[in-house]
Copies of this chain bind each other. A is one copy, B any other.
Amino acid sequence: MHYTRTLLHPDATEPMPTLGLDSTSLSTGEKHQWSVQTRTLHGGTQEGVQVVEIDNGKLSFVVLPTRGMGIWKGNCGDVRLGWDSPVKNPVHPSYVNSQENGGIGWLRGFNEWIVRCGLSSMGAPGPDMIVDNNGNALEAFLPLHGNIANLPAHTLSLEITDSEIILRGEVDETMLFGPALRLQTEIRTAFGSGALEIVDTVTNLGNNPTEHELLYHVNYGSPLLEEGASFQAPFKQTAPRDPRAAEGVENYNQYDAPSPGFVEQAYFFELAGKRGSRESLAMLKNGKGDHASLLRFSLKDFPCFTLWKNTGGSADGYVTGLEPSTAYPNTRNFERTKGRVLELAGGESRTTKLVVESLDTKKAIATAEKEIKALQKTAKGTVHPHPISKFSDI
């Protein structure tokens, strides 16, 4: 069995088709009750947002081509993957002005389980110098988390084989005189698996070198996040981002119940990875310890990692973020001074991989914990009580 279908293409004369494929309509030889559906949302700020709903028979999730191929939400068995943002539905980019409110307009559309930040810049809003059309330095205000989440895919295609479902999309972040970056993403999931794999290639379409930043904001609310939930990852060192985070450093890896008025705390990590491959992992485990979400990635791809704890009221966005990235989510200007902003040469591509897996047995969780502990033995695991100048602008 091999099914392929182009869903969006710049030369298409029709809108994205409304598609309903499943294990009955298209036999894959798999016993799983899989399905793939596409549709366009209506009403309010979600008018016109295109979604692709993928269910591999165990794990289901909703991809948002209109919002940079982010993943809105998912489910694995009974476990909801995602969180409850005050923003209820996927927001069409035309309703997001990233420049507003001092550059934090991105937050008007933020409710995804997995959302990319980048491609040209990400992290805290702030001024930076860009080069204008006259070759002169021009001060530009770079908004929170960049543009990629608010740019739609111009190409989208689906492939279904005997073993997996693959959705591919392309998103361009381009302008004359500006960065011309293309994201080609491949979201893969095997039938009956609890995991999805995001293989992203970012290409500098231009002739000149250009800067590049990429962060995956992988976010969880209830039920994985709850009182007693915990975070684990092997690390060389970690430090609070700022004095506010320092207040919670002793319990940086533990979570409380929703606490209205709680102000977010973020911790920057230098993780430990396997020799050679530099493969690493990070896990969020629920309070009972029978469900977890595990991220796997290479530190070659993502040398930086941030843990975001935002355990405010349940109506305010009770959420934690596990964030592998190319740099820390400070201003790009600061990250440049630390040598952490990537540069892609003209025509250069960079491919990265992130696997997100749902663990639903204590045994699977124990195996992951064993792996984390083994890696931790190779690294010091220093927890700095205060922000450090390597990570934060102090």
Binding site for B on A (CB under 8 A): 8-10, 12-16, 39, 41-48, 85-89, 93-95, 97-102, 104-105, 107-108, 110-111, 130, 132-135, 138-141, 143, 151-156, 171-172, 174-178, 180, 205-208, 242, 244, 258, 260-261, 263-264, 310, 312-317, 346-347
For residue A156, which residue of chain B has the nearest CB?
Answer: B43
Of the residues B85, B141, B153, B180, contact of A43 by C-beta under 8 Å: B153
Nearest chain-B residue to A263 (Cβ)? B135
Among candidates B86, B102, B175, B347, residue contacting A180 with C-beta atoms closer than 8 Å: B86
* Bound form: Cα–Cα A61–B347 in Å: 30
Q: Which residues of B sit under 8 angstroms from A178, Cβ to Cβ? A: 86, 101, 107-108
Contacts of A88 in B (CB 8 A): 10, 154, 172, 174
Across the interface, A44 reaches (CB within 8 A) one of B152, B177, B207, namely B152
**Number of copies of this chain in the oligomer?**
3
**13 sampled A-B residue pairs with Cβ under 8 A:** A15-B47, A43-B152, A44-B151, A44-B155, A44-B172, A45-B152, A87-B175, A94-B95, A102-B132, A102-B141, A107-B133, A134-B244, A135-B244
Q: How far is the CB of A141 from chain B (nearest CB, A)?
A: 8
Report the bound CA distance from A264 to B180 in whole Å.
Answer: 18
| Closest Cβ–Cβ distance, residue A328 to chain B (whole Å) | 15
Q: In whole angstroms, what is the CA distance A43 to B174 when docked?
A: 15
Chain B residues whose C-beta falls within 8 Å of the C-beta of A97 in the assembled complex = 97-99
Task: Please measure, in the bound complex, the distance between the C-alpha atom of A174 and the C-alpha atom of B316, giving whole angstroms.
Answer: 10
Contact indicator B104/A313 (Cβ below 8 Å): no
In the complex, how many angstroms separate the beta carbon of A215 from the nearest chain B beta carbon?
15
From known contacts A134-B242, A315-B205, infer whether A86 and B175 are also in contact, taking CB-CB under 8 Å.
Answer: yes
Q: Are B86 and A176 within 8 A (Cβ)?
A: yes
Partner of A175, one of B43, B107, B143, B154: B107
Q: Provide the bound-state CA to CA distance between A104 and B133, in Å.
A: 9
Decide: A134 and B86 in contact? CB cutoff 8 A. no
User: Known interface pairs A42-B8, A44-B10, A94-B93. Does A133 touch B264 (Cβ–Cβ under 8 Å)?
Assistant: yes
- Contact partner of A95 among B14, B43, B151, CB < 8 A? B151
Contact A208 B132 (CB under 8 A): no
Instruction: Tell me which of A13, A101, A258 has the highest count of chain B C-beta atoms within 10 A of its own C-beta.
Output: A101
Determine whether the beta carbon of A154 is less than 8 Å from that of B43: yes
Query: Across the two chains, which residue of chain B brings its CB closest to A133?
Result: B264
Chain B residues near A134: list those with CB within 8 A. 242, 244, 263-264
- What residues on B are CB-neighbors of A8 within 8 Å? 42-44
CA distance A310 to B316 in the complex (A): 41
In the bound assembly, the distance between CA atoms of A175 and B102 in angstroms comes to 14
Contact A207 B316, beta carbon cutoff 8 Å: yes
Q: Determine the chain B residues whose CB is within 8 A of the CB of A101 once the complex forms.
A: 130, 138, 140-141, 175, 178
Nearest B residue to A179, CB-CB = B86
Q: What residues of chain B lie closer than 8 Å to A89, measured between beta carbons?
A: 10, 154
Choose one: B141, B172, B316; the contact of A208 (CB below 8 Å).
B316
CB distance from A23 to the nearest CB of B (A): 22
A245 to B367, CA, bound (A): 65
